[in-house]
């Protein structure tokens, strides 16, 4: 029993430690695509590995996926953990070339951009959510499949999240809001859509 309790405490401690960002990590917006599949696309942690050459590590906010980019001269090499939750970057991504805020190859793309200032983030505008689209301003909400509705209020519920209440009492939330994307969610229907700014 003592062994089991000690083991459980150790495992719980590891889980807690994995969810805490290292002191040198900074919030950022990242992309990790491998073989045409997206593993990170949004908020992440960014950690500089060196002050000289630009090498860095990115990790998604859940700690499931991460990648190391080692910059050498005009190019870079990278490794990633490939399987969610694995704690070492054992899979090579090969040689990469710089493309703006990204490092790319024929099979991988790794990007890191500074996190946007939360005061500048706004859900106002036109959004394409693939299945539906909508426009929002401080007075009107227009869903592509419904008539325009009057907005009763828009409340900031987190740095990057907003609650919207329409005059008829219908409520929905907008999460993970950045300059060009957000997540639309209706508690009433349970529908959740990833949206891009038009």
pLDDT band at 13 (very low <50, low <70, confident <90, very high): very low
What share of residues in the chain are helix, strand, coil (percent, to 5)?
Answer: 10, 50, 35
Single out the residue of 102, 186, 179, 111 nearest to residue 141, CA to CA: 186
- Find residue 181's DSSP bridge partners: 196
| 33 pLDDT more than 80 | yes
| 19 pLDDT more than 60 | no
| 25 pLDDT more than 80 | no
> With pLDDT > 90 as the criterion, what percentage of the chain qualifies?
56
The ranges assigned to domains in the chain are: 23-114, 118-197
pLDDT band at 119 (very low <50, low <70, confident <90, very high): low
Token readout for 138 is 């401080």
Across the chain, what does the average pLDDT equal?
A: 83
Average pLDDT of span 121-142: 91
E strand or H helix at 152, and its extent? strand 149-158
Greater confidence (23 vs 185) lies with 185
What are the tens digits of pLDDT across the range 54-108?
899 999 988 899 999 999 988 999 999 999 999 999 999 999 999 888 899 999 9
Which positions ≥6 away from 124 have C-beta within 8 Å?
Answer: 136, 137, 138
State the number of CA atoms in the 13 A half-sphere of 114 facing the CB: 3
What are the tens digits of pLDDT across the range 135-178?
999 899 999 888 999 999 999 888 788 999 999 999 999 988 88
Long-range contacts of 153-159 (CB under 8 A, 24+ apart): 154/123, 159/118, 159/121
């Amino acid at each position: 029993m003592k062994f089991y309790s000690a083991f459980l405490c150790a495992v719980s401690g590891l889980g807690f430690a994995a969810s805490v960002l290292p002191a040198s990590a900074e919030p950022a917006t990242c992309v990790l695509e491998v073989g045409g599949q997206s593993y990170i696309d949004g908020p992440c942690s960014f950690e500089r590995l060196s002050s000289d050459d630009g090498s860095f590590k990115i990790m998604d906010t859940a700690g499931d996926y991460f990648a190391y980019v080692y910059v050498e001269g005009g190019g870079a090499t990278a490794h990633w953990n490939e399987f969610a939750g694995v704690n070492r970057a054992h899979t090579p991504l090969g040689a990469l070339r710089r493309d703006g805020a990204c490092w790319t190859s024929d099979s991988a793309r790794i990007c890191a951009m500074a996190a946007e200032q939360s005061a500048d983030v706004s859900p106002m505008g036109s959004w394409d959510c693939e299945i539906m689209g909508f426009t929002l301003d401080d007075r009107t909400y227009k869903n592509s499949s419904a008539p325009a509705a009057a907005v009763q209020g828009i409340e900031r519920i987190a740095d990057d999240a907003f609650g919207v209440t329409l005059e008829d009492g219908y409520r929905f939330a907008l999460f993970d809001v950045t300059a060009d994307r957000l997540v639309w969610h209706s508690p009433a229907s349970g529908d959740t859509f990833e949206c891009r700014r038009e």
